[in-house]
Amino acid sequence: QVRSPLVDRCACLAGARSVTAFICPPLWSKIREVMPQFQLQVLQNQVSALLKNIWIWFLRGVLRLRPSPFLPVTDAQRGASVEGEPLVHGNDFCVCAEITGPGGVDRIQARAHCWATCGYDLMNHFEGSQRIPRPLNTVPPGLVVLRNRAFSVNYADICIRWGLYESALRYVGWPIVPGFDIAGEVEAVGANVPFKPGDRVAGCTMFGGYSRRV
């Protein structure tokens, strides 16, 4: 699974090119005048996703190049830190799949830089982030920690990758850990929940399901 350095360089340049470079500047200025900012962002995502999917089709369908491997966790990722504290603790880390920006499947990257992930409706418990950097001393009331064994892959996840899913853009942005439907075993519980560690459960999360721990 080795790709040509020239192709990698071209892909890097293509990814760095502004979407507006493909649109006549006077036309783009007119669009910005009449379109609300959020709708403009969605339009940019649509154009960007379209161009990147065409690029991926060219690499895979025409040049017959293999995609980059979905890389395993590296020692560098295990050793990452935030404010001087280890980001992952020994082997107690969470592997998740992030979408780094609008585009094709190459935008999905394996990451191991947190202890768990959460839905956007719970981000206020964790400093406004989907990624919980270190183990919780106490699980907040009404919540559980799930050792995730399976998650669904939905059309909605594709819409997120295309940059068209409104709540994903409004409340999370890029990068984002997608995924709604999850199933696994309860690891820890907060107060006032009808579960105990070891219970097998299934449920939904407002993003964050492409993860080993939720």
Helix (H, G, I), strand (E, B) or coil at 11: helix
Q: E-assigned strands of the chain? A: 81-82, 85-86, 94-99, 108-114, 116-117, 131-132, 144-151, 181-189, 200-204
Give me the percent of the chain exceeding a pLDDT of 90: 38
Mean pLDDT of 113-124: 92
Helix (H, G, I), strand (E, B) or coil at 184: strand
Flag whether pLDDT at 30 surpasses 90.
no
Mean pLDDT of 162-178: 89
